[in-house]
A and B are shown apart, each in its own frame.
Chain A
Amino acid sequence: MGAMTWQQLRDLDCGAIRALGDGWKSYVDAMLDQTERLRTDVVDGHLAVEHYESDTAARVREQIGLTADRYEDDLSDYASTRIATTLHEAADAFEAEQGEIKELVPLIAAHDFEIEGDPAEYDVNLSGELHRAILTTDPPQWLCDMVGIAKPAGAFDLDRLKVLFNGVDLYGTAIGLAGQYQDWLRAVMSRTRDADDEAAAALTEMREHPTELPPRLGAAYDELVGDYREAVSEEVAAEAKAIAEGTSGMSPEQVNQWWDHLSDSERDALVEDHPGWVGPVDGIPTGPRDTANRSLLDREIDGLDAQIADKERLLAGTDPESDEYETLTEAVDGLKDDRADLGRLHDRITDDDGGPAASSQTGQPFNLLGFDTEGGGRAVIAIGDPDGADNVNTYVPGTGNSLGTAGGLLSRAETMAFDAQRLGGGDDTATVMWLGYDTPDDLVQATDAAFAREGARDLESFTKGLRATADGDPANLTVTGHSYGTTMVGTAAASEGLPADNLVMIASPGTGVDTASALGADEDRVWATVNRDDPIRYAPVHGMDPTEDGFGANTFTSDAPAESSEWWKFWEGPIADHSSYWDENNGISRDNQAYIVTGNEAGVR
């Protein structure tokens, strides 16, 4: 089947998809009544011990209980988590994008643009009529309004002459607007495909892994039932492994439902025996993720210590003049760097007694939601508990960051947390430092959008996980990008979709799109800032500067407090200003961010 077209999306009956999901949910509820009856009326009723006491009766009761368990598990895993939730999530996603299409397509038509090309990458071009109108210097009213002229009324009309001789850029303006609509349309269709693919993956995985049933009663029952119990136990582990490796096709919401359905002992066993299948997984609640990740961190540090010791032993017996010696030395240095980075991370989030530390700034506990030493390294750390918070702010840093700089980034996140507590009116705000992608090493690499594209799915998954694990009402969720981090946030929002209430773009080199409309969030809740001296405003390499009027975001004030050390070192101040948004003398920027994050937009200036 080919990709969905915009017409198909526009005409899609999302209500029917949702009703189908509701139907499956109702079916699950009705069927659970049946297993309840089996247990109460049969196992604990007619076939209860007081009526039938024998080995055979015990086996029958056990077999019925196992069958009921199996049935309930399958109802939960398949009918509810897989089918109903997939249908609900798909309906929600399609409906959101359908709303965008229904807003966008009339705008495209009203401006005499045309949608052309393949659904995988639609173009929005000027129609033949619009071309003619511009060529004959008879532009439509909307275009006259955009370029600031009155609609020409005759052959020698002054505004027609302006068009002809004063360089009023009708074509450029029209093409610019068409480009914004094209960004918007492509973003809508990208997110639609994403939702479609995710739904298909969830359903496909279900079909490919049929579950086992309990053994039938008979001569071999006693022999087989032990194997069955073991298989059920292994099944949980296999599911956890598939989820962690990303082959289950389950969304974070589905992972959360799966986790909820496990018994306490199954959850504890996974955290203890397989922390690698728990710690990094979006959709599993913060508490067990933190416990599992701390265990993984200890293991990783121990493993690095052992590797360093092994390699140093080898080094001692190697000729210092040999190539092998040089190779081994480099390897040891690399391992020592990783060990130092992880050691600092460990010390930062661990108290003197070896337990989880709390932030000295807010008193909130640190929660380790992920880390990795591959490439530049990654770290995802929450200050506070995102599952129970009123507000959650996810901070996405930019160029030049790695596990080695995670400490400084965490300090910045602590300042954001502190400011939210200072201004938040008593609300509980959790702040997450999400260094969950491979950032560009330097400004040259930062001109490449590939880093953002490669991290987009992970940021989508992480934010969906935050939604899935929320206790009670969903938090007011903000995603804040700084510098290349805004490119990361914008790319993820436009291509995959981020379930955020607020998107905040600080000192952006471009968000990957030219209009806030393409970000899939309410434009009234897209925010951008850049201070007057920040050189990034002259380098919009990833699309329009989001603080420009044409982008359509709200803007807020940030000062430019940095100064050069000498008058002739004129570049020092502006360069420092690119990262001054949390610095001294920039309280206005810090306050504005905190007001957005805590839902006090009235305070933003």
Chain B
Amino acid sequence: MESPPESVYTQAESYAPAEGAVADLVAALPDFPGFAKRSWAELPCTRAGVEDPDYTNVELRYQFSAEDSATPLVNERYVDLLREHWRGLGHEIIRDDTTELDDATYRDLTAVREDGITLWYSAAHLATLMVQSGCVPRSDPSEIPYVPPSGGIRPGGKGDGVGEYFPEGIPAARPANPFDAPDTYDDQL
């Protein structure tokens, strides 16, 4: 039986570079108001239309509050800045569109990095940055490392919605600082 396409990372390895991408984004955005919430999601990875339990799609989700999402800074200016930033990094932009609703304008910008990680900024009612690993080999839950959040979310705090991965409690976390992400996460892989 064929497996899904080869990936650069395993599930456990994917969190650090994905979180690194978020930290990079936060550093690139001026007047950053802070995220309200982060969570880690997993989507089924399928083969021949049937779920393959040995693989999973990891998606990191960082969300602004509804109030901040409605500001021109988050809804519009950040889209322009991210477009420029991601192009500058050589990422391929695969989606760049605007949706006009009756009472709001939503914007979507999606880029793919060379390592296969996808970055999706959705400037919507709840503006969200999603970082997606693609199909990666599933890891044992005990192997998944705690990676502190970026963007003003307090590790282990109310907005840090990754508790289900750490049933014994969030590991001792350093103070939240969105701007102190390391340059590379290589040593953590």
Contact = CB atoms under 8 A, between A and B. Distances in A.
Interface of A: 352, 357, 360-361, 363, 398-401, 404-405, 408-409, 411-412, 414-415, 418, 421-426, 442-443, 483, 563-565, 569, 572, 575-576, 578-579, 582-585, 587-588, 591, 595, 600, 602-603, 605
Nearest to A592: B99
Given A399-B50, A408-B44, A569-B2, 17 more contacts: A360-B40, A361-B61, A363-B161, A422-B63, A422-B126, A423-B125, A425-B125, A565-B5, A582-B43, A585-B118, A588-B108, A591-B99, A591-B108, A595-B99, A600-B101, A602-B101, A603-B106
Contacts, number: 128
Interface string B82-100: 0000000000001100011
17 contacts: A352-B167, A400-B50, A422-B128, A423-B124, A425-B125, A426-B125, A565-B3, A569-B2, A578-B48, A578-B49, A579-B49, A583-B132, A584-B118, A587-B110, A587-B120, A603-B99, A603-B100
Contacts of B57: 583-584
Contacts of A409: 44, 51
B162 to A, nearest CB: 7
Lowest 9 A-B CB distances belong to which pairs? A408-B44, A400-B50, A579-B46, A565-B5, A584-B132, A360-B161, A584-B118, A603-B99, A408-B51
Contacts of A603: 99-101, 106
A595 B112 CA distance: 24
Q: Which of A361, A421, A588 has the largest number of chain B CB atoms within 10 A?
A: A361
A293 to B, nearest CB: 21
Contacts of A588: 95, 108
A83 B162 CA distance: 52
Contacts of B143: none
Given A399-B49, A400-B51, A576-B47, A411 B41 contact: yes
Contacts of A415: 41, 43, 59
A418 B110 contact: no
Contacts of A418: 41, 61
Q: Which of A404, A442, A584 has the largest number of chain B CB atoms within 10 A?
A: A584
A308 B2 CA distance: 35
Nearest to B108: A587
Contacts of A363: 161
A564 B5 contact: yes
A575 B49 contact: yes
Nearest to B99: A603
Interface of B is mostly: strand
By size class, the interface of chain B is 35 or more
B39 interface: yes
Contacts of A414: 41
Interface in B149-168: 161-164, 167
B173 interface: no
Contacts of B6: 565
B42 interface: yes
A337 B126 CA distance: 40
Interface of B: 2-6, 39-44, 46-51, 53, 57, 59, 61, 63, 66, 94-95, 99-104, 106, 108, 110, 112, 118, 120, 122, 124-126, 128, 132-135, 161-164, 167
Contacts of B133: 584
Interface of A is mostly: loop
Contact of A411 (B3, B43, B103, B110): B43
Contacts of B118: 584-585
Nearest to A423: B124
Contacts of B50: 399-400, 442
Contacts of B135: 576
A563 B63 CA distance: 29
A411 B44 contact: yes
Contacts of B46: 576, 578-579
B2 A412 contact: no
Contacts of A442: 50
A565 B66 CA distance: 40
A401 B51 contact: yes
Contact of B162 (A360, A399, A579, A591): A360
A575 B53 CA distance: 17
Contact of B49 (A361, A412, A425, A443): A443
A406 to B, nearest CB: 10
Contacts of B162: 360
A414 B50 CA distance: 19
Contact of A360 (B66, B164, B167): B164
A458 B2 CA distance: 36
B48 A575 contact: yes
A398 B49 CA distance: 9
Contacts of B47: 575-576
Given A425-B103, A584-B118, A600-B101, A405 B108 contact: no
Contacts of B51: 400-401, 405, 408-409
Contacts of B44: 405, 408-409, 411-412, 579
A360 B163 contact: yes
A587 B129 CA distance: 12
Contact of B126 (A405, A412, A421, A576): A421
A585 B164 contact: no
B138 to A, nearest CB: 11
Given A360-B39, A400-B50, A605 B99 contact: yes
Contacts of A357: 164
A443 B48 contact: yes
Contacts of B126: 421-422
